[in-house]
Amino acid sequence: MKTPIKIFIAVILTTAFFSCKNTPAKSSRLGNATREDKNGWIYVHLAGSPADIGYQHGYLVANEIDTLIKVMQYYLPSSSGKDWDFYRAASKRFLWKKIDKEYQDEIKGIAEGLQAKGMKYDTLDITALNANIELAQYYVAGLDNKVKPGSGDNKAPGNCSAFIATGSFTKDHKIVIGHNNWTDYIVGERWNVIADIKPEKGNHILMDIAPGFIHSGDDFVVTNSGILITETTITGFKGFDTTRTPEFVRARKAAQYAKSIDDVIKIMTTDNNGGYANDWLIGDTKTNEVAKLELGLKNYKVWRSKDTAIIGSNFPSDPKLIKEETTFDVNNHENSPNARRLRMEKLVAVDYKGKLDEATGKTIEGDTYDAVHGKKANNRCVIDGHVDEDPVGVPEWSEGPFYPMGAVQGKVSSTALAKKMSLWAHMGHPGGADFLAAPFFKKHPEYFKTQGKYLRDMKSYPWTLFAVSN
């Protein structure tokens, strides 16, 4: 007969065994995932199955994802005329079924990571968050145009100033790539995650993302297959097909599976829905060839070379695409895309030709010289944009005078850095200026009603080097 003390010990050990076996510890899905906050950025290392990568992301960045969704819920009704339920419904009606299963699993994982932190978001919230640009500024614009022709024009966002160069244009005759993200400060100040993702299948990826994104979104990507990717948006673009694959899915697939420039082009053009139409700048560090893919809905064109400098500042280049799919005015030299194009062409093809490297790339992305008016300035015409200080605003994006948007962060990489899976990143205006919300609202109270709850200071931090974890 067992003594009471022996029975008690046996019960405790049995309970502990089955409890551990049947109820995995919350941290088991986290694996070796890590988070580090540095110079305005949140660096996360995520690895494993799609579901676990998602869970790690949702769990480690929960507070920031929660805030960004709340920003969207607050901000989209005034900026797009549609509430969050509309975007959830669109995600359910035609987006979810066009998402590859592995990315459905990752999105489910993000929701589960958030739920583990006590937040009540689901897959439709995360899908709508990932697709917010193509839904709000392409799908909704198309709906508006059906009701009243022309009312949805000038809704396609003008995001980013970028370049990619190689051959005689760079200091070491290999690739240098740079990009800054232009967007509304209320969102862009929170676009501050560096994601180091090591999936079970495909490439190891290093990219900047907004919290909760499975893709970069503003698109700056380094992969261990030697591929570099960035983009700038096509101003005045019109077109969207709800029956085809979302842009955010194709962009993530290109980052994860492309081994060559041709792979990127094939993935991005296959089942293309026209959402978030961009000029994609692509480099292959194995060959030091670079390319531009200008991708609309009906049209696309590719330029590629081993000795060139290619820029992007939201202007389209292909005459056929311009005529058939945009409202872009190529003759307006004072619009933001054309003004920045003038300055960037001089910098990469004249001033820094043969000198382009990581240091000069940082300088370019922080440049504040207005080439149209021949002076230093903080306005719509400079590479490091400050629309919040511009009395004209950006009419071609339907943004009024002193609208609070512009360059919110920057990134630079190169063949040398890419071989180490590294990139330089700068949170805040790459030129070093701070945006301060209180003085802005004092000067421009007209924006307080629609942005006062969440628009906050955007400080400029130092350039910081990030590399993947092994």
What gap in Å lies between CA 395 and CA 364, rounded to an integer? 25
DSSP line for 307-367 = SEEEEESS----HHHHHHHB---TT-TTSHHHHHHHHHHHIIIIITTTTBSHHHHHHHHT-
Least confident of 144-148, 203-207, 297-301, 386-390: 144-148
Q: What was the pLDDT predicted at 184?
A: 97
Tell me whether residue 115 is in a domain: no
**Average confidence (pLDDT) over 272-301:** 98
**CATH number of the domain to which 329 belongs:** 3.60.60.30
Integer Cα distance of 187 and 190 in angstroms = 6
**463's tokens:** 């350039």
Pair of tokens at residue 470: 């092994």
48: left (phi over 0), alpha (psi -120 to 50) or beta: left
Among 21-35, 81-95, 118-132, the range scoring the smallest mean pLDDT is: 21-35
* Phi, psi values for residue 86, rounded to 5°: -60, -45
Decide if 191 is inside a domain. yes
Contact by Cβ (8 Å): 367, 347: yes
The residue-averaged pLDDT of 198-213 equals: 98
* Other Cβ atoms within 10 Å of 75 Cβ, number: 21
pLDDT of residue 3: 45
Taking alpha carbons only, the member of 258, 244, 148, 144 closest to residue 205 is: 258
For 98-142, what is each residue's pLDDT tens digit? 999 999 999 999 999 999 999 999 999 999 999 999 999 999 999
Structure tokens at 68: 């960004």
pLDDT class of 280 with cuts at 50, 70, 90? very high
Convert the pLDDT of each residue in 305-334 to its tens digit: 999 999 999 999 999 999 999 999 999 999
The reply to whether 61 falls in a domain is no
**pLDDT over 50 (residue 461):** yes
* Mean pLDDT on 30-40: 97
Calculate the average pLDDT of the chain.
Answer: 94
Residue with tokens 């205006």: 429
159 pLDDT band, cuts 50/70/90, is: confident
Q: Residue 121 domain-assigned?
A: no
Decide: 411 and 425 in contact? Cβ < 8 Å: yes
Residue 181 lies in a domain: yes
pLDDT band at 48, cuts 50/70/90? Answer: very high
Which pLDDT score is estimated for 27?
A: 60
For residue 120, report the phi and psi dihedrals to the nearest 5 degrees.
-100, 50
The tally of domains found in the chain comes to 1
Give the domain range for residue 167.
27-49+159-467
| 313 and 383 Cβ atoms separated by less than 8 Å | yes
Q: What percent of the chain has pLDDT over 70?
A: 94
Residue 340 lies in a domain: yes
Domain assignment present for residue 240? The answer is: yes
186 within a domain of the structure (yes/no): yes
